[in-house]
Amino acid sequence: MILIAVDIRRSAWSLQRLSLALLLLLGLPGLAPAACEKTLRWDDDPPFSMQAADGTVGGIYLDLNRAALERLGCQAQLRKLPWARALKELQLGRLDILPGAFRRPEREVYAHFSGPVLPPSRNILFMHAQLLQRWPVKRLLELQHSEFRLGAQINVAYGAEYEQLMSDPAFAARVLLVAKRSNLWRMVAKGRIDGVIAAENTGAHEIAQLGLSEQIKATPVVVSSDAAEVAFSKASTDPAFVQAYAEALTELVADGTYKRIVQRYVMP
């Protein structure tokens, strides 16, 4: 006779995992064991995703999401995509998982979201060092009626103040939108634009890699500090999988795995 002890505090999570496993065994669309391979977006966006000198691909988001998939018995198939293209592929169902996404009404039409499991990530304003005294601003809105030339990425959500400024045609006309942020850093260094919005850790890493740490500096301007989520294509991913995935991410944060991954890339 086999006795089964149930821990009430973990029963809900255990049942969710059991339910997911049963769905996999039943072979529901998109969840069959043979098909439990999910496409995961990456790009040259250190320290979140990047290719090392030896050709391996890793980063905070990649390592974390591969670990979550592994806990669910799935494998990751990596797809290198710029951000704007990744959103389109998610909408079309040709990309399953997009880490580091912010929930927006227009995205909820075609994407499920994990919920804000990870700690908030700050987007800040970086500026050419010679311009720090000219524009000693504390908020992005202070630049609205200035001649400041801003660089940002296409289809990236930077928060409420940025959206407010972009609704001003005069300000929007001074914003250079590109697909690849690496081009923006070089343009700041050459004086073609004055500043760039980027994630705090990402910006510092990229500037150092380009040898521009003396020319480009972080400012005190925090553009947004929302918690990014993981987005899943509604066209290819079942809600039951999303729920179990969010639980797996929560476990990875609680057991210290996420912290160790961050330390691996941010504080080597």
Alpha-carbon gap, residue 176 to 148, rounded angstroms: 11
Instruction: Give residue 33's pLDDT.
Output: 46
**Domain ranges, ordered by start, for the chain:** 12-120+227-266, 123-224
Instruction: Give residue 34's pLDDT.
Output: 47
Query: CA 238 → CA 41, 96, 208, 232, 249, distances in Å?
Result: 18, 10, 41, 9, 17
Q: Could you write out the DSSP letters of every residue in 168-234?
A: SHHHHTTEEEES-HHHHHHHHHTTSSSEEEEEHHHHHHHHHHTT-TTTEEEEEEEEE-PPPEEEEET
**Within 13 Å, how many C-alpha atoms sit on residue 193's CB side?**
23
What is the pairing mode between strands 37-42 and 75-80?
Answer: parallel
Mean pLDDT calculated for residue range 163-171: 95
Between residues 96 and 4, the one the model is more confident about: 96
Between residues 264 and 215, the one the model is more confident about: 215
Give the rounded percent of residues in the chain with a pLDDT score beyond 90.
67
Name the packing angle between helices 239-254 and 257-266 (round to 10°).
Answer: 70
CATH of 123-224, one of 3.40.190.10, 1.20.200.10, 3.40.50.12780, 3.40.50.620: 3.40.190.10
Tokens (6 digits) for 20: 């997911």
Residue 19's pLDDT band (boundaries 50, 70, 90)? low
85-142 per-position pLDDT tens digit: 999 999 999 999 999 998 999 999 999 999 999 888 789 999 999 999 999 999 999 9
Domain 12-120+227-266 and domain 123-224, same fold? Reply is yes
Alpha-carbon gap, residue 167 to 133, rounded angstroms: 27
Alpha-carbon gap, residue 101 to 114, rounded angstroms: 10
The CATH number that domain 12-120+227-266 falls under is: 3.40.190.10
